[in-house]
Structure 1
């Protein structure tokens, strides 16, 4: 017969995948999401299950409150960055995510969506993620936020409007179709073909790169993004196809070391958003943690081109 602690651990593990998915969308950080799940386990183990009728709902409430505390703490001391902060991506090989990653990305929101979620207030983000992504009723969301169901509905509605205004759309359905556009994009970049690059980009395309403060950038418009692509091309760069949050992307390496990551949102055959990470320390951590390359263990930035 299992001990009480062992039984609680078993029950928690049955819900861990969903809890990680909720926390990742709330926080936009894989590391912080894992910390939130662990904190939720500590609280759950202390509280037990006496009187709990809906265990999944109870655990979702616990992890939501943990995430809400993190979001409120961040809002109280906002970072000052010179450009956008691209959330942590979920990286997979070109043939698609692992079963564990698929669980994390169920009802996925891509990097472009996560960037928009970062602009919401903590309460708006919680209401939107729980209701619009995970179908949690407003009657259950309200106590987590200390609001009425109607107030929670209004928070989600404001968040939804921000998402729509930002122009996030469902990407083209197959990775093969997305990859064909990306291959054409890099082919045009190698050839210095500005006209083809512009044609492959949506007129309102947004390019966000998180290079940590000085290297961060936000560019808009097909011509601007195309010229920036040509200006930043490196003749020794190698491009490795990857899947980033369920959509096609590219890991850029120089002499075998990660130098950049690009996730493409492609709608109706055109690139509507590019989200990139070029901060070398963050890149090496993400790539090493998710096993895409045998990244060097030694600290320090990669060799400069």
Structure 2
């Protein structure tokens, strides 16, 4: 009977461990994307997610009502802690869910490519602004959830996201894409001008201080990840005119965008911020991990 009981207990432990590993494996790609979005570094994102696994593995899963929300909270607060330390900001220890272990587990991880341009853009934001902007604008998290993570109110979380958008726009203007129809017209005009090599048409829809960020996979060798100004953008757009001929106007996460197709698949996506009928920033997404996170519709 003792042996039978030991076997039953061992079987139950294996069952819980297997379920825990399955749940975490299902959430891991999204957690990596969240961490990368906040930190701008794939290596740091991998470390943070591994630390989250260590904490999850040592926690009573039966006490966790929502695994996705719990893991998102842990990963986001670990990212905040890392940002505060790296920037030598006043540090307030993050209050993680009860019962979470503190010792990290050393494991071998595969380091991916750093998207330099993305890092440059995010460096303009404070850590809370990064969290509010990435979780809401990129992953669609409600402000109530973001407020819980940041230990603030939903109204304050909304203001943080709004300020982040303002700091990311070179004109510091009002909310981007205020009129979706106008934004779609502007992006459509940009695509038409790019296809035709129409310099005047490009200049008309670009803000004088326009910026373009891009994944390395989207660029020719030696090209810069972040460029600024109408002249730089127009010159590059003319060089990449062939891509424009394979592109189409689409909706990306509810906003007007451009998708470059090949073999009936989206290989490159362009997301835009438009203010006062001009493009103030656009991001060229070609990293398969980032592409997979976009909701692209005709």
For the superposition of Structure 1 and Structure 2, which TM-score range results when normalised by the shorter chain? 0.5 to 0.7
Residue in 2 aligned with 1:86?
Answer: 117
Instruction: Quote how far apart the aligned CAs of 1:169 are.
Output: 1.8
Measured after TM superposition, the shift of residue 6 of structure 1 is 0.2
Tell me which of the two structures has the higher relative contact order, counting C-alpha pairs closer than 8 angstroms and 6 or more residues apart. Answer: 1
2:280 corresponding residue in structure 1: 272
For residues 239-279 of structure 1, give each alpha carbon's deviation from its aligned partner in whole angstroms, at most 9, with x where no partner exists. Answer: 1538897563477xxxxxx9x996544578753323459xx
Aligned CA distance change for structure 1 residues 154 and 264 (closer, same or farther; 3 Å):
closer
Query: C-alpha separation between the residues in 1 aligned to 2:240 and 2:30?
Result: 41
**Residue matched to 2:165:** 163
**Deviation of 1:125 (Å):** 2.6
Please say which of residues 120-129 and 130-139 is displaced more in the overlay.
130-139
The 1:68/1:194 distance shift into structure 2, 3 A limit, reads same
- Residue segments in structure 1 that go unaligned for 5+ positions in a row: 78-83, 89-113, 144-148, 252-257, 278-282, 292-305
Instruction: Tell me how far apart the structure 1 counterparts of residues 195 and 146 of structure 2 sit (CA, whole Å).
Output: 48
State the alpha-carbon separation in 2 of the partners of residues 288 and 21 from structure 1.
8
C-alpha distance 169-42 of structure 1, shift in aligned 2 (>3 A): same
Q: TM-score, normalised by structure 2?
A: 0.54
CA distance in 2 between partners of 1:14 and 1:68 (Å): 23
Task: Name the count of aligned residue pairs.
Answer: 232
- Give the corresponding residue for 2:131: 126
Distance 2:199 2:55 in 1: 56
State whether structure 2 residue 204 is matched by structure 1 residue 208.
no
CA RMSD of aligned residues (A): 5.0
Q: TM-score, normalised by structure 1?
A: 0.53
1:204 Cα deviation (Å)?
5.3
Alpha carbons of structure 1 residues 121 and 31: separation in structure 2 relative to 1, 3 Å: same
In the alignment, which of 241, 250, 260 is matched to residue 247 of structure 2?
241
Name the CA distance, whole Å, in 1 between partners of 2:61 and 2:210. Answer: 47
Cα deviations by residue, 1:28-68 (Å, 9 ceiling, x for unpaired): 45665455334322321122425334433322221112222
- The secondary structure found in structure 2 opposite 1:238 is helix
Correspondence list, 1:139-158, <5 A: 140-142=148-150, 149=152, 154=156, 157-158=159-160
Kindly report which structure 2 residues correspond to 1:272-291, keeping only aligned pairs within 5 A, or say none.
272-275=280-283, 286=287
1:127–1:141: 8 Å Cα contact kept in structure 2? Answer: no
Partner of 2:263: none
Which of 47, 53, 59 pairs up with 2:59? Answer: 47
Mark the CA change 1:24 to 1:215 in structure 2 (over 3 Å): closer, same or farther.
closer
Is the 1:131–1:137 Cα contact (8 Å) retained in structure 2? no
CA gap of 1:53–1:156, structure 2 versus 1, over 3 A, is same
Whole-Å separation in 2 of the counterparts to 1:85 and 1:29: 9
- Counterpart contact for 2:146–2:157, Cα < 8 Å: no
Report how far residue 228 of structure 1 moved. 3.3
- The residue that corresponds to 1:254 in the other structure is none
